[in-house]
Chains A and B, each alone.
Chain A
């Protein structure tokens, strides 16, 4: 009888542990790249916050627009002040699901991620294929997808219209660790 209670207790505890199987990073990497005939523009952000719930496949990503680092100070200034208006919209977020995360157990695979990207006060549904690596105490996600500047109501002045691509490539590399 005593043993049975212990077994039930252990089972209950393990269920609770599983439901809290969260993986997190505060040092995720996201960059964007714009290619045009005039110039290439790249900005890196190494301060991305991302949380995965392994049980449900839910993923939530947050970043600060000001944490994007450019090669040129002037580009960074224009980006924050005129294009994405960081003072008004300081964060970009992504909320979505990693499809069929529970069924994955092979170390290297690709997964489909679907969700909503919010940026500059606008929302847009994103669907992308990412590489996933599930290790004992790590979940790594990496890949890239394209976004249209126009979808986010970002206005580029005519003078520099040729310098900035209409479609921007977003690259991500997020290495999550168990959340304690």
Chain B
């Protein structure tokens, strides 16, 4: 009997672990808050140490929109840098699509998401717009 209970409990934990959810971007607090220029400067200075600092972390970036595009149902916001050489490409979560439509090129926004690294541009996934973008209006 005890063995059976133990098995059921451990099974429960295993299944729970197996189905462990992704972090909730909306509810979690960002580990770092930076401006687009700061993170780009870090990456241009040293990609390796910038990766250690940013990759896999939930970060919040404030910057100017250089471009908004839609591709295969995903909206992509590109944040610009002063020099225009590199940018930050943010792949938004589908639930943000409606709000992304309200945004305009050139406006200042704050995006929260997970950094995956650098390929001539900084890549961000699972991004959302923070509430501050809409309160100001």
Q: Which A residues fall within an 8 A CB radius of B?
A: 26-27, 29, 46-47, 49, 62-64, 66-67, 69, 72-74, 76, 90-91
Contact = CB atoms under 8 A, between A and B. Distances in A.
Nearest to B22: A73
Contact of A47 (B19, B55, B91): B91
Nearest to A69: B125
Counting from the closest, the 7 A-B pairs by CB-CB distance are: A66-B116, A64-B117, A67-B116, A73-B22, A49-B119, A64-B116, A47-B123
Interface of B: 17-23, 51, 55-56, 69, 71-72, 74, 76, 89, 91, 116-121, 123, 125-126
B87 to A, nearest CB: 9
Contacts of A90: 51, 55, 117
Given A64-B117, A90-B55, A27 B71 contact: yes
A69 B114 CA distance: 12
A26 B20 contact: no
The dominant DSSP class at the A interface is strand
B17 A74 contact: yes
Given A66-B116, A67-B123, A90-B55, 9 more contacts: A26-B89, A26-B119, A27-B76, A46-B74, A47-B89, A64-B119, A69-B125, A76-B22, A90-B51
B119 A72 contact: no
Contacts of B69: 27
Given A73-B22, A74-B18, A47 B51 contact: no
B74 A91 contact: no
26 contacts: A26-B89, A26-B119, A26-B120, A26-B121, A27-B69, A27-B76, A46-B71, A46-B74, A46-B91, A47-B116, A47-B119, A47-B125, A49-B120, A63-B119, A64-B123, A66-B55, A66-B116, A67-B123, A72-B18, A72-B20, A74-B17, A74-B18, A90-B51, A90-B55, A90-B117, A91-B117
Contacts of B51: 90
Contacts of B119: 26, 47, 49, 62-64, 91
Contacts of B118: 64
Nearest to B124: A47
Contacts of B21: 73
Contacts of A74: 17-20
A73 B72 CA distance: 23
A157 B7 CA distance: 23
B20 A73 contact: yes
A13 B61 CA distance: 42
A55 B100 CA distance: 38
A74 B20 CA distance: 6
Contacts of A62: 119
A74 B118 CA distance: 23
A72 B74 CA distance: 19
